[in-house]
Chains A and B, each alone.
Chain A
Amino acid sequence: MRCNPDNGLVRVLLAGALLVAAAGPPPAPRAGGTLRMALSADPPTLDPALATDLTSAAVVRQLFDTLVELDEKLTPGPGLAQHWTISADRRVYTFALRRDVRFHNGRLLKAGDVKYAWERAARGKRPWVFDRISGARDVIEGRAAEISGLRALDPATLEVSLVAPFAPFIYLVAYDAAAVVPREAVESLGPAFATRPVGTGAFRLARWRRDDELVLERFPDHFRGPAYLDAVAFRILPEDLTRLNEYRAGQLDVTGVPASYCRVVEADPRLRDDLVTWPTLGTQGLRFNVEVAPWTDVRARRAVAHAIDASLVVKTVQYGCGVPARGILPPAIPGVPSAEARLAYDPARARHRLAEAGLASGPTRPRLTFHYNTGTANQRLAELLQAVLREIDVDLELRRLDWAAYLALVDEGRAGFYRQAWIADYPDPENFLTVLFHSRNVGVAGNTSRYRNATVDRWLDEADTMAAGPDRDRRYAEAERQIVDDAVFVPLYHVTSRALIGRHVRQLEHSPLSSAPEFLSPLRKVWLAR
Chain B
Amino acid sequence: MPPPSSRVHRGLVAGGVLLAVFTAAALLAPVLAPHDPLAVVDPGTPVALQPPSARHPLGTDALGRDVLARVLFGGRVSLAVGVGVEVVVAALGGVVGLLAGYYGGLLDAALMRLTDVVMAFPTLILAIGLVAVFERPGLATVFVVLILLGWTTIARVVRGTALTLKGREFVQAARALGARDRTILFRHILPNSLGPLLVAATLGVGGNMVAEAGLSFLGLGSQPPTISWGAMLADGQSDLLTAPWAAVFPGLALLLAVLGVNLLGDGLRDVLDPRTGVE
Interface, chain A (partner B; CB < 8 A)? 240-241, 260-261, 263-264, 309, 311-312, 315-316, 374, 376, 379-380, 382-384, 386-388, 390, 397-402, 404-405, 409
Q: Which of B39, B46, B132, B219 contacts A387 (CB 8 A)?
A: B39
Q: How far is the CB of A407 from chain B (nearest CB, A)?
A: 12
Note all chain A residues with C-beta closer than 8 A to B38. 386-387, 390
Residues of A within 8 A of B48 (CB): 315-316
Please tell me if B183 contacts chain A, counting CB pairs below 8 Å: no
Using Cβ atoms and an 8 Å threshold, which residues of chain A touch B108? none
A260 near B43 with CB under 8 A, answer: no
B45 to chain A, nearest CB (A): 11
CB proximity to A under 8 Å, residues B41-79: 41, 43, 46, 48, 62-64
Cα distance A311–B240 in the bound complex, in angstroms: 24
**CA–CA, A521 and B268, complex, Å:** 66
Q: Is the Cβ of B238 less than 8 Å from the Cβ of A401?
A: no
Q: Given A264-B241, A399-B135, are A382 and B224 also a contact pair (CB < 8 Å)? A: yes
**A447 CB → nearest B CB, Å:** 22
Chain A to chain B contacts (Cβ below 8 Å), 19 pairs: A260-B239, A261-B241, A264-B241, A311-B43, A312-B43, A315-B46, A376-B235, A376-B238, A379-B235, A383-B224, A387-B39, A398-B224, A400-B223, A401-B131, A401-B137, A402-B128, A402-B132, A405-B135, A409-B135
| In the assembled complex, B172 has its CB within 8 A of some CB on chain A | no
Which residues of B approach A to under 8 Å, CB–CB?
38-41, 43, 46, 48, 62-64, 128, 131-132, 135-137, 219, 223-225, 234-235, 237-242
A409–B134 Cα gap in the complex (Å)? 12
Question: What 8 new A-B contacts, CB under 8 Å, besides A264-B242, A405-B132?
Answer: A241-B240, A311-B43, A315-B46, A316-B40, A374-B219, A380-B235, A400-B223, A401-B136
B38, closest chain A residue (CB): A387
B235 touching A398, Cβ below 8 Å: no
Give Cα A374–Cα B235 distance, bound, in whole angstroms: 12
Q: Is the CB of B242 within 8 A of A316?
A: no
In the complex, the answer to whether A241 meets B241 with C-beta atoms within 8 Å is: yes
CB <8 Å contact, B223 and A240: no
Instruction: Label chain A's interface by main secondary structure.
Output: helix
User: When A261-B241, A387-B63, A405-B132 are in contact, do A316 and B41 touch as well, CB less than 8 Å?
Assistant: yes
List, in ascending order, chain B residues with CB within 8 A of A399's CB: 135-137, 223
Nearest B residue (CB) for A244: B241
Residues on B with beta carbons closer than 8 Å to the beta carbon of A400: 137, 219, 223
List chain B residues, Cβ under 8 A from A264: 241-242
Q: How far is the CB of B229 from chain A (nearest CB, A)?
A: 15
Asked whether A309 and B43 contact (CB < 8 A) given A376-B235, A401-B135, the answer is yes
Contact B43 A398 (CB under 8 A): no
Decide: B219 and A379 in contact? CB cutoff 8 A. Answer: yes
- Nearest-CB residue, chain A, relative to B43: A312
Q: Which residues of A contact B219 (CB under 8 A)?
A: 374, 379, 400
In the complex, are the beta carbons of A386 and B224 less than 8 A apart? Answer: yes
A480 to B131, CA, bound (A): 37
Docked pose: A387 CA to B38 CA in angstroms: 7
Q: What are the nearest 9 A-B pairs in CB distance?
A: A387-B40, A376-B238, A398-B223, A405-B132, A383-B224, A312-B43, A374-B219, A399-B136, A260-B238
Closest CB-CB distance, B51 to chain A, in whole Å?
15
Quote the shortest CB–CB distance from B139 to chain A (angstroms): 13
B237 / chain A contacts, CB cutoff of 8 Å: 376
Say whether A380 contacts B63, CB under 8 Å.
Answer: yes
B169 to chain A: closest CB distance in Å? 57
Chain B residues within an 8 Å CB radius of A398? 223-224
Residues of A contacting B136 with CB < 8 Å?
Answer: 399, 401
Contact B64 A316 (CB under 8 A): yes
Q: How long is the Cα–Cα vector from A264 to B242 in the complex, in angstroms? A: 8
CB-CB under 8 A from A380, the residues of chain B are 62-63, 235
Bound-complex Cα distance A383 to B70 (A): 14
B223 proximity list for chain A (CB < 8 A): 397-400
CB distance from A240 to the nearest CB of B (A): 7
Which residues of the partner chain B approach A241 to less than 8 Å between Cβ atoms? 240-241
Given contacts A316-B48, A316-B64, A383-B224, contact A240 B238 (CB under 8 A): yes
Q: Specify which chain B residues have a CB less than 8 angstroms from the CB of A383 in the assembled complex.
A: 40, 63, 224
Q: Which residue of B lies closest to A382 (CB)?
A: B224
C-alpha gap A312/B132 in the complex (Å): 32
Q: Which residue of A lies closest to B136 (CB)?
A: A399
A368 to chain B, nearest CB (A): 13
**Closest chain A CB from B213 CB (angstroms):** 16
Report how far A263 CA is from B239 CA in the complex, Å: 11
Chain B residues contacting A397 (CB-CB under 8 Å) are 223
Closest to B132 in A: A405
Q: Given the known A-B contacts A264-B241, A400-B137, A402-B132, are A386 and B62 also in contact in the complex, defined by CB atoms under 8 Å?
A: no
Q: How far is the CA of A384 from the CA of B48 in the complex (A)?
A: 12
When distances are taken between beta carbons in the complex, the residues of chain B under 8 Å from A390 are 38
The answer to whether A384 and B40 touch across the interface, beta carbons within 8 angstroms, is yes
A388, B238: Cβ atoms closer than 8 Å: no
Cβ–Cβ < 8 Å partners of B235 in chain A: 376, 379-380
Distance in Å: Cβ of B71 to nearest Cβ of chain A = 16
B186 shortest CB reach to chain A, Å: 45
Chain B residues with CB under 8 Å of A312's CB are 41, 43
Chain B residues contacting A376 (CB-CB under 8 Å) are 234-235, 237-238
Decide yes or no: A384 and B135 within 8 Å by CB, A240-B238, A402-B128 being known contacts. Answer: no
A386 to B65, CA, bound (A): 13
Q: How far is the CB of B75 from chain A (nearest CB, A)?
A: 19
What is the CA–CA distance of A388 and B64 in the complex, to the nearest angstrom?
Answer: 13
A387 to B128 Cα, complex, angstroms: 27
Bound-state CA distance A376–B238 (Å) is: 8
Known: A380-B235, A398-B224. A316 touches B62 (CB 8 A): yes
A404 to B133, CA, bound (A): 12
